[in-house]
Structure 1
Amino acid sequence: MKSNRAQERVQEAQATEEDARLRDDIRLLGRILGDTVRDQEGADVFELVERIRQTSVRFHRDEDRQARQELESILNSMSIADTVRIVRAFSYFSHLANIAEDHNNIRQMRSRASAKGGGGMLAETLAHATAAGLKPADLRKFFASALVSPVLTAHPTEVRRKSTMDREMEIAALLDRRERMQMTPDEREASDEALRRAVLTLWQTNLLRRTKLTVLDEVTNGLAFYDYTFLREVPRLLCALEDHLDNGGESAGELASFLRMGSWIGGDRDGNPFVTAEVMRGTLKLQSSLVLHYYLEELHVLGGELSIAAHLADISDDLRGLAERSPDTSPHRRGEPYRLAVSGIYARLTATAKKLGVQISRPPVGEGAAYTSVREFQGDLDILHRSLISNNARVIARGRLRLLRRAVDCFGFHLARLDIRQNSAVHERTVAELLDTAMPGMSYLALGEDARVGLLLSELRNARPLVSQFVKYSDETVGELDVFRAAAEAHAKFGADVIPQCIISMCKGMSDMLEVALLLKEVGLIDPSGRSAVNIVPLFETIEDLQASSAIMDRMLALHDYRRLVDSRGAVQEVMLGYSDSNKDGGFVTSGWELYKAEIGLVEIFERHGVRLRLFHGRGGSVGRGGGPSYDAIIAQPGGAVNGQIRITEQGEIISSKYSNAEVGRNNLEILAAATLEASLLHPRQPAPKREYLTAMDRLSELAFKAYRGLVYETDGFVDYFWASTVINEIATLNIGSRPASRKKTRAIEDLRAIPWVFSWAQCRLMLPGWYGFGSAVETWIAENPDRGMAFLKELYREWPFFRMLLSNMDMVLAKSSIAIASRYAELVPDEELRRTIFGRIRHEWELVVRTLHEIMGQERLLQGNPLLERSVRHRFPYLDPLNHVQVELLRAHRAHSPDEQVLRGIQLTINGISAGLRNTG
């Protein structure tokens, strides 16, 4: 007991020290920002910022009526110009606070790694695996067939420009340098000046984009994270893991590159008319250009490093042959075979780049033949590697060459695996036009599901093409066929890894999957013998579709013709699960529960068919869209659902928060790998939840669904309340994405995309999609089960990872909410009775959920069990809350048709600042 108390005191002391250091960083950056505001905008603006901040703190703390009146008085008395200045000041503080927090997180990661003798979460998980009796050979075998794939998407919740991100990264680097270096007084003074210079530059940089993003702009923004993190950290992580499994002995061979980057940016056509075949070709060219330039630069530096003289070190015959084939005729390198070999590789890679349409800035020393495949390029690098190893130069082989070889294995000539995605309704219309044209008198759309399946299967067996060059098809059909043809071209140009998945949004039946198979066959990506070059991936999104998913896949895998396609892909079938639309459809509790049950059903079906299931989790950044800590989410999956392979979307502002800093990015990649390993090997068959747990959760879900649907879809006037009390209209004015906010031109919640739905609720600080319905569900369940009551729910929380994660995510999202601030947004609703009724229901449910969570989790305040996040939220509220208050006043002016164009600009700036302050908002 004494040792436990002593350990607790040590941990408390460490937490206090960490908190103090974080506060110091925030104060440093805040002070510099304050000085910048005073210098650039005047002392009166700086003093106004402070008055608003202090008054906002009082209002947030206890909904002080006097503070509210004072705050409204201050805001109403400001000119629009001053309002915009105030908004910029608070917005920039949110960005700077994020930098300080990230810096503190890195500090803690280093501290933990030092305390444990080095290594991050992956090393810790490997130690657990070793303690559980798993040998390095077992782990190597696991990784040989494993797949961990973060998939970047361009969903519009990242409101920051790359220009501001670059300045923020500069500030972060300066903070890091101050901590790592023992500076002289002069160096410290220079560091202070550099920080002030960076903050001033940030202050004078536009927070908002002036023009609408194109899809290729989104591609370019996404590719920046390869420069920041992926190109270097993915190879380093894999090499470090390989070393760990070698355990200091002789190498057991190279570890499989199980960590693969994926992307939807430039291939996701669902609801985005701007993603065309030409855009997809442009996307692949940009991707290829980035990775080839990286390889060429690394080769250039490698050539400088490998100055090994032939008379001082032996070389292999293969290396000698490679050097002799080099076009490099410089007399200075005549006796340096490795440099000659690298020059020859560089020349061949330059020719490859030219063949792929990539412009190269540094020319080769001579002409070389283009590589026919990435494997041929790898083969030449392997010759360098083997020659060094065989001639006692292993330490040299383990340097830049090793990381380059690993990068080539991970990224190929295509960089990231691009998924193509389209809505099932579009596929259906395309196939219907092709079939109806080829078979006069046919009406495909009039056929029932069984008849469609039979017809599609017969067409899959038929070698003749459906498309005729003599028929004029609709623009939609032409566009879809062009995309599939571009995918086939990409396979021929870059290899099969370039586009390995075709995803079907809103998949509702077998015919939706077979229609895609038919379109793939039409362009040669499926051949008549039953071999497929692409995975056909159904995306089950709504509650109803999740419930039907197991039965659909059971019937699909029983079809001989479809099973041949699956077997040709290594007997692996990927299934994507949609978190966002299921949440919008049925609420947070029911969405989470139906996803969990769907996974259980799919695991059972796939085991019966002898097919490996790979789940692709379509998680958003916010809890309302499946977000939350990745490690906890993976570990909480039902037994057998991970099984060594997992793909997860990384969306919106979550991408920059996870991957713009290389060290943070490396840690997040390790978390994904560690969680996959742990879920697959350490408890792959954890005991199924007790039957009474499942029964209770079924009822809680049913009750929560009823409460959520009752508010969102069955309350008269709710749509009007939503559009009036949130910034949904104004979000559309931001240049933050190429995709429209709604699928159709209506105000219906059903047609609204899940991203702006969640984003809007976050802006007004209600975060309704992340908690609504749970309190009512628990209240009714306890009334129905007085014998078990709260004690049973506490047992669920204690014993069941799924239930614990559900409540933990609600705890997090509620801590970022503010019912006091939300009440101000409710006042934007012009209909007083509608406002009173609906906000009254929301407030009641919010209070009920908070009380319920506290009781089940055994806590007195939100985030009591997560002190680090609690402190983070506490630090940022004084600067975040004023942005909400200002946003409300600007919305009033905008909706009163203020002619001042700065009003809308001010609203856009508040959206940026609030998003930055909350971090995982969409």
Structure 2
Amino acid sequence: MSTIELPDRLRDEIRLLGRLLGQIIAEEAGEDVYERVEQLRVAAVAHHRDGGDPDAVVDVVAGLDTHQAEQVARAFTIFFQLTNLAEQRARVRALRERDTGDRPVADSVGDAVERIGAAAVGDLLADLRVHPVWTAHPTEARRRAVVDSLRRIDAQLERLDAALLGATEELSIRRHLREEIAILWRTAQIRTSRPTPVDEVRKLMAVFDATVFLVLPHFYRAVDTALHGEDVGAVPPGTPPFLTFGSWVGGDRDGNPRVTSTVTAETAALMADRVLRGLENATRRIARTLSATEEITPASPDLLARLAELEARYPVVAAAQHKRAARSPHRRLMAIAAQRLAATRTGQGTDADMAFDGPDELAADIALTQASLAAGGAPRLAYGELQHLAWQVGSFGFHLASLEVRQHTDVHAEALRRLGIDPDDLDALRAVIADPPPAPDDLEWPEPPDPVAVASAPERDLSPTDVADADPAGDVLATMRVVAAIQRRFGRRACHRWVISFTTGLVDLLRVEALAAIAGVDVDVIPLFETRADLDAAPHVLEQWVAERRGDGPGPGELEVMLGYSDSAKDAGFLAANLALYRAQRGMVAWASEAGVRLTLFHGRGGALGRGGGPTNRAVLAQPPGAVAGRFKVTEQGEVINQRYGNGTLATRHLEQITSATLIASAPGREVVDAFAQDGAMLEAMATASEAAWRDLVEAPGFPAFFRAVTPIEEIGALQMGSRPSKRRSSGGLEGLRAIPWTFAWAQCRINAPGWYGLGTGLQAAEEAHGLAALRELHATSPFFATLMENAEMSLVKADARSASEALALGERPDLAQRILDELALTTRMVLAVTGQSALLEGREVVAQATALRNPYLDVLSAVQLRWLGVARGEDATDEDRQVLMLTMNGIAAALQNTG
């Protein structure tokens, strides 16, 4: 293999971090550990680069004792974490360098303006809705302490990048780097206890504080700049707050007994506390900058009237502000707003009843101040930082993110049975919806959540006994009452969606509507179609539902539907699931157009490529014609959240990419190839063959035992990645296993089957029936098929036949092992044939280089994992043995940059 050619600064940064890590290993663990790590590193690189002994790494690992293995696994895990950090920094530098040219950066909103025109973009922005949803699937394997440590290392590297840096300062930075890497070395990589749902909320709030709240106005400013150029900040913005966030964290209770009605109430309060603090601080800061006096910048009559009204209502606050800024009415109005935000959060104020009625009242005061400043000759004061605040209020409200509740349809059925209602009787459900019976006597209206009390309360969790005794069905109506309380306290936007897992028919929707009628709560019911069969039936179910809701009236004008990427792939395999999702969208879009319904498709995408992962902007552009139409909603989870929002520059870039793609996909007159309309017969043949291959594997006799033997699926729960159990229910098979651990386990043994298995068989069947030229034509003309192949290529390049074959041997089923390896070889060959490449990632040099850099060191962790998988499962296994295995799982997840 040729030498890996990385960008100079990236190569230098990786070398620096590797050298400092080596120094810390020698200091902290001893020279013998450092030498053993070096021995493994050199052997692994020699095999990959120069064709050295393929067994050298395995031979060294065979001689390690448990303590040595733990040190080796720790060293390579931290190396991957530092390498990921360096690559993230390289992406930031590349973005900054590309932003210095005369042309807009590719995939930016400026690029969209150039492609479809400023007028078209302006028209689309007026009705645009982009809605990322942070999910309660925390597949981030790293502990919070590790993430914080890496953030501090990043800050030191940023200092090292400074153009003017003295020798003394450089020495100081390098000392800080050694200190931080030493801290990272001594920081436990594995959680000792499972995080609670509230822990997960607090972790998400840390991301909000670090980047999201601060980045959002700069993102809007970038959009506005693309429209107004140099006039931006001096004219009223043409960019409404079209971006809003949602969250399943603390609301998703499907299979997670720890998420109770109390947790949901606490979650809403925590999010409100965080955003109100942010808005209060920003408003207070901006108020201090509005120091223009009334002689130079006269206030409008409307502003003076509003100020007089508020000063009469809040005399104590007014007196204090008059003392500070008697001649600056704009400052006084914003200072009073800051005081009112504090009272909204705490429920207390110097004057009685100071709390805002809601975010709309604050937005009105901001707009009034802007209009007055502009009329007074100060437009840059009106549309500068004050506009940033207006955008933050418009996107976050007083709730930060719209909290969504998700529950399994079977739980809803059980809740109705306990109320004496047959959950399968459509007529009985209709009767309840039309004339709901009284709620149970023991169901009381909860008190509205108090942000201050919740934010300061100690963290707590259900005990194991409480978890075992949890009663999700009994908590359904209580949760609905909590939703109503959240709406009263923070507004309807704070919590109004109820997602139904495993929706199969009309009855699932009517169950929730009946329960909501009994509880007296207003919720939007969101069906989630997950399996291939349910996706195929989705258009018909929606047709029935809308007919049911319309009756003799106009019925719903808008509808939201969620598409499950995870379970459909687990059910039908990578190719068949993707084709089923595409087919379902086509059917729903056609039905919605005919029925006169505005449809929002909610994409339940995971982090791994086998669960719908991959670049979001390309996924947007790959949707069927009409599927976006100014609305894009998608889940973001686990390590994906940190990858996209852990750095301010990357967060802005991510938001620009999905916005640009949504604008382009929604542009009037845009022509896009409908894959099924062009080559439907070929795609159907491909899907049939692919799904048959997948089912032949996962439904083979003895496959569950084989899967448990060759992957660390049973050990994943010990990583304590999230509050949710890895299974929905206990069973000897795979039915109750969640898609995240399923995908995670396949990735750990370097197979990645959910991201490619069956594709080769499907492509081969299409080639035999239609010819290779037809496949290449589809690849060249269909964004959907090109994106699908690109994602499969990434999954294939993360697979490794040698490591996989060693893991597969543990299953003692050579027939199944050979079937997997044969499909891997076939899929690789067919993907190369269709794309016209001689090697995977041939056209994506940077990704290929990053993958090639990782592979040698991945071999080391794989060898340690393979050996300790057997050791940790033995009768004489110790906690230290199990710790080694878990550490390798963390390290491999870091190397692959995804878990599930």
Q: TM-score, normalised by structure 2?
A: 0.92
Would you say the 8 A contact 2:237–2:383 is kept in 1? no
Equivalent AA in structure 2 for residue 259 of structure 1: L
What's the counterpart of residue 278 of structure 1? 262
Correspondent of 2:124 among 137, 142, 145: 142
Q: Distance in 1 between matches of 2:749 and 2:377?
A: 64
Q: 1:822 is matched with which residue?
A: 804
Q: Shift of the alpha carbon at 1:246?
A: 3.5
Q: 1:877 to 1:688 in 2, by over 3 A?
A: closer
- 2:451 corresponding residue in structure 1: none
- Structure-to-structure mapping, 1:183-194, within 5 angstroms: 183-194=165-176
Deviations 1:247-295 (A, max 9, x none): 5567465532111111100110111111111000000011001001111
Q: Which residue is equivalent to 1:619?
A: 605
CA contact (8 A) 2:297 2:373 kept: no
**For residue 440 of structure 1, what is the aligned residue in structure 2?**
none
After the TM superposition, which residues 721-870 of structure 1 pair with which residues of structure 2 at under 5 Å, given as runs?
A: 721-783=706-768, 785=769, 788-829=770-811, 832=812, 834=813, 836-870=814-848
Is the CA contact (8 Å cut-off) linking 2:124 and 2:630 kept in structure 1?
yes
Cα distance, 1:505–1:470 mapped onto 2, change above 3 Å: closer
Q: Which residue identity does 1:346 align to in structure 2?
A: A
1:197-596 pair list within 5 angstroms:
197-248=179-230, 251=235, 254-321=238-305, 323-324=307-308, 325=311, 327-330=317-320, 331-355=323-347, 369-436=354-421, 444-445=422-423, 447=424, 452-462=425-435, 464-469=436-441, 475-526=471-522, 534-561=523-550, 567=556, 571-596=557-582
Deviations 1:464-505 (A, max 9, x none): 434332899x95443100001100111111111011311111
Instruction: Summarize deviations over 1:501-528 as a string: whole Å, max 9, x none.
Output: 11111000011111111222223334xx
1:824 Cα deviation (Å)?
A: 2.1
Q: What are the Cα deviations for residues 514-560 of structure 1, in whole angstroms up to 9, with x where unaligned?
A: 1111222223334xxxxxxx321110000110111111112222224
Cα distance in 2, alignment partners of residues 566 and 764 from structure 1: 51
579-588 vs 508-517, which moves further: 508-517
Q: Between Structure 1 and Structure 2, how many residues are aligned?
A: 863
Structure 1, unaligned stretches of length 5 or more?
1-14, 437-443, 527-533
Give the distance between the partners of 1:468 and 1:737, measured in 2 at CA.
34
Amino acid at match of 2:853: H
In structure 2, relative to structure 1, the CA distance for the partners of 1:62 and 1:900 (3 Å cut) is farther
> Deviations for 1:379-407, whole angstroms, at most 9, x for unmatched residues?
22223222222211222223332211210
Contact 2:5–2:849 under 8 Å retained in 1: no
The structural deviation recorded for 1:682 is 5.9
Q: 1:49 aligns with which of 27, 37, 54?
A: 37
Give the distance between the partners of 1:126 and 1:781, measured in 2 at CA. 35
Contact preservation (8 Å) 1:54, 1:878: no
> What is the rounded CA distance, in whole Å, between the counterparts of 2:351 and 2:407 in structure 1?
45
Q: What is the CA distance between 1:323 and its match in structure 2?
A: 4.8
Indicate if the aligned counterparts of 1:347 and 1:368 stay in contact, CA closer than 8 A. Answer: no
The alpha carbon displacement at 1:329 in A equals: 2.9
CA distance in 2 between partners of 1:562 and 1:169 (Å): 56
Aligned partners of 2:281 and 2:338 also within 8 Å: no
Amino acid at match of 1:909: L
1:683–1:80 Cα change, 3 Å: farther
Q: Do the aligned partners of residues 896 and 546 (structure 1) sit closer, same or farther apart at CA in structure 2, a change above 3 Å counting?
A: same
1:566 to 1:28, Cα distance in 2 relative to 1, 3 A: farther
Deviation string for 1:831-869 (max 9, x for gaps)? x3x2x1111111111111111111111111111111111
- Cα distance in 2 for partners of 1:121, 1:775 equals 31
Q: In 2, Cα distance between the equivalents of 1:565 and 1:872?
A: 55
Establish whether residue 67 from structure 1 lines up as the match of residue 54 from structure 2. Answer: yes
C-alpha deviation, 1:629, in angstroms: 1.2
1:177 equivalent in alignment to 2:173: no
CA distance in 1, matches of 2:283, 2:240: 23
Deviation (angstroms), 1:241 = 1.6
Q: Would the alpha carbon gap of residues 684 and 617 (structure 1) be closer, same or farther in structure 2, given more than 3 Å must change? A: farther
Within 5 Å, give how 1:583-662 maps onto structure 2.
583-662=569-648
Q: Secondary structure at the match of 1:410?
A: helix
Q: Distance in 1 between matches of 2:442 and 2:856?
A: 67
Contact 2:673 2:783 in 1 (8 A): no
> Cα deviation per residue 1:204-262 (whole Å; 9 max; x = unaligned)?
22222222100000111112221122112122212332343235567465532111111
Distance 1:864 1:578, change over 3 A: same
After superposition, where does 1:878-889 map in structure 2 within 5 Å?
878-889=856-867
| 8 Å Cα contact 1:347-1:366 kept in structure 2 | no
Secondary structure in structure 2 of the residue aligned to 1:733: helix
- Alignment check: 8 A CA contact 2:133 2:636 kept: yes
- State the Cα distance separating 1:603 from its structure 2 match: 0.6
Q: What is the CA deviation profile of residues 341-370 of structure 1, one whole-angstrom value per residue up to 9, with x for unaligned ones?
A: 333222222221123xxxx9xxx7766611
Q: How far apart are the structure 1 equivalents of 2:620 and 2:555?
A: 25
Change (3 A) 1:690 1:276: closer
Deviates more, 1:191-200 or 1:100-109: 191-200
Higher alpha-carbon deviation: 294-303 or 338-347: 338-347
- For residues 276 and 476 of structure 1, what CA distance do their matches in structure 2 show? 8
2:367 and 2:767 map into 1 onto residues whose CA distance is: 66
Q: Which deviates further from its counterpart, 22-31 or 298-307?
A: 298-307
Q: Is the CA contact 2:675–2:785 (under 8 Å) kept in the aligned structure 1?
A: no
Which residue of 1 is the match for residue 899 of structure 2?
921
Q: Is the 8 A contact 2:871 2:877 kept in 1?
A: no
Deviates more, 1:585-594 or 1:715-724: 715-724
Q: Residue 688 of structure 2 aligns to which amino acid in structure 1?
A: E
Structure 1 pair 566–195 and aligned structure 2 pair: CA distance change class (3 A): farther
Residue identity matched to 1:269: R
Change in Cα spacing, 1:353 to 1:242, as seen in structure 2 (3 Å) is: same
Cα distance in 1 for partners of 2:4, 2:408 equals 51
Q: Which amino acid aligns with 1:588?
A: F
Question: Counterpart of 1:36 in 2: which secondary structure?
Answer: helix
Compared with structure 1, are the counterparts of its residues 470 and 246 closer, same or farther at alpha carbon in structure 2 (3 Å cutoff)? closer
Residue pair 1:154, 1:222 contacting (<8 A) in 2 also: no
Q: How far 1:875 sits from its partner (Å)?
A: 1.4
Distance 1:120 1:779 in 2: 35
User: TM-score, normalising length from structure 1?
Assistant: 0.90
- My pick for the range that moved more, 495-504 or 605-614, is 495-504
Q: In structure 1, the residue corresponding to 2:153 is in which secondary structure?
A: helix
1:901 paired residue among 867, 879, 885: 879
Question: Does the 8 Å contact 2:573/2:754 carry over to 1?
Answer: yes
Task: Please give the secondary structure, in 1, of the residue aligned with 2:372.
Answer: helix
Tell me, in whole angstroms, the C-alpha distance in 1 between the residues paired with 2:501 and 2:443: 28
C-alpha distance 470-855 of structure 1, shift in aligned 2 (>3 A): closer
Q: What is the CA RMSD across the aligned residues, in angstroms?
A: 2.4
- Shift of the 690–399 alpha-carbon distance from structure 1 to 2, 3 Å rule, reads closer
**Are residue 102 (structure 1) and residue 74 (structure 2) matched?**
no
